[in-house]
Amino acid sequence: MSSKQIQAVRGMNDVLPDEVHRWECFEDTVRAWLHGYGYRGIRMPILERTELFVRSIGEVTDIVEKEMYTFVDQLNQESLALRPEGTASCVRAAIEHNLLYGGAQRLWYWGPMFRHERPQKGRYRQFYQVGVEALGFAGPDIDAEQVVMCARLWRELGLDGIRLELNSLGSSDARARYRARLVKFLEQHHGALDEDSKRRLHANPLRVLDSKHPQMQELIREAPRMSDDLDEASLRHFEALQASLHTAGVTHEINPRLVRGLDYYNGTVFEWVTDRLGAQGTVCAGGRYDGLVEQIGGKPTPACGFAMGVERLLALMQHGGGLPAPRAPDVYLVHQGELADRFAERVAENLRDARVAVLLHCGGGSFKSQMKKADASGARFAIIVGDDEAAAGDVSLKPLRELAEQMRVSVAEAADIIRNGVTDDA
């Protein structure tokens, strides 16, 4: 009797072999794109001290209040958390290793993030983000660079219909002024607030604007606008950013209620949104976080960054049909006979020396059944080795994807033909 099956944790997905190739193509494009803008990779641990996220993301936020996987390490009673996002870790690492002594840094990372949310399409408990952070840059030029680079990535991935929403949260003084006005408005509509919003009304009123509660949407639309309270410097910064975007041909709309779900943002905030993924339409989000480095214990350092949701972008690529064909080996190596079996292993290694991808048949069976597997593998060629070939030290090469004759060639010739794709005049 078999034991009860063990299943994956809810909201945590396996990425199966058929999909992994798509992920890898996406990663390749992303890596080349980031290199093109001078961003350098950094890798942080998945576990951090809980305190890091509480201090940076903010105590009264969805993430810290109800989405974090937090536990106490039994060995030393330390409270640890699976990272819900990467910015705080990246900033911690930059401070801890004095990266900023070397001047401003353009950094990026990629990996799984964890949030205990209700799983649905485009919303998972383990999901992947590509995070991009520019530490030590104060001007609107870096904000513009980051927005323009996103627009380029969408083009390179063959994605269209992703619109840009922008807002400025202003300086902390401006936010304090706005906060007072917002609290007054929300108090006047206290009866219309949901439970979370009532709780946040005084602790963190800006979060009310980020509420996903359907009941709250109308009220949020009527709420006072941040833009009326913006300070001079933030206004100039925001206008310069918009002018750069205009020059670069990147269109945007201002969304005065865009506040982002994390407390560390100030000044510019932005989201890239599509209508093609239902409710989970934000594929990329970010902005300025000028106070965060100091908040985590570093010297005051202005900064700007963003994160993309990989699953949502891949779903959008699937939607648009811009998917790479699955990857197959170059050769399926068929062999039978005692001498042939040993020779085939050597042939496979020699071909790999010549950078040919070889799937060596394992498990025996007739030539006929092995050839069926060769066909199904998607390989462009079969190489057939019998005792005859083994004795002569050569192979039979058979193109599988076109009408061409099987030919008897040396291993070196086979490698040449496979790599150069020339089969007719060999």
Residues forming the site for ligand ATP (CB under 6 A): 85, 115, 117, 122-124, 127, 129, 261, 280, 282-285, 307, 309, 311-312
Q: How far is the CB of 133 from ligand ATP (least distance, A)?
A: 13
Q: How far is the CB of 152 from ligand ATP (least distance, A)?
A: 18
Residue 280 vs 336, nearer CB to ligand ATP: 280
Q: Calculate the CA 28 to chain-centre distance.
A: 12
Residue 363 backbone zone (phi > 0: left; psi -120 to 50: alpha; other: beta) = left
> What is the rounded CA–CA span in Å between residue 204 and residue 64?
13
Q: How far is the CB of 85 from ligand ATP (least distance, A)?
A: 5
> What is the rounded CA–CA span in Å between residue 297 and residue 54?
14
Q: Calculate the CA 90 to chain-centre distance.
A: 15
Q: How far is the CB of 108 from ligand ATP (least distance, A)?
A: 14
**Number of C-beta neighbours around residue 187 at 10 A:** 12
Question: Which residue's CB comes closest to ligand ATP?
Answer: 309
Nearby residues of 303 by Cβ (< 8 Å), 6 or more positions away = 91, 133, 134, 135, 136, 137, 288, 289, 290, 292, 293
Which among 58, 95, 188, 139 has a CA at the least distance from the CA of 304? 139
Q: How far is the CB of 204 from ligand ATP (least distance, A)?
A: 15
Name the CA dihedral angle for 314, 315, 317, 323, rounded to a multiple of 10 degrees: 80
Token reading at 176: 């304090």
Q: How far is the CB of 356 from ligand ATP (least distance, A)?
A: 38
Q: How far is the CB of 232 from ligand ATP (least distance, A)?
A: 28
Token reading at 242: 């918009």
Nearby residues of 195 by Cβ (< 8 Å), 6 or more positions away = none
Token reading at 353: 């020396």
Token reading at 39: 């961003």
Could you write out the DSSP letters of every residue in 76-100?
TTEEEEE-S-SHHHHHHHHHHTTGG
Q: How far is the CB of 207 from ligand ATP (least distance, A)?
A: 11
Residue 217 vs 247, nearer CB to ligand ATP: 217
> What is the rounded CA–CA span in Å between residue 49 and residue 71?
10
Residue 263 vs 389, nearer CB to ligand ATP: 263
Residue 57 vs 100, nearer CB to ligand ATP: 57
> What is the rounded CA–CA span in Å between residue 278 and residue 400?
42
Token reading at 416: 């040449």
Q: How far is the CB of 140 from ligand ATP (least distance, A)?
A: 21
Could you write out the DSSP letters of every residue in 291-324?
THHHHTTS----EEEEEEEHHHHHHHHHHHT--P
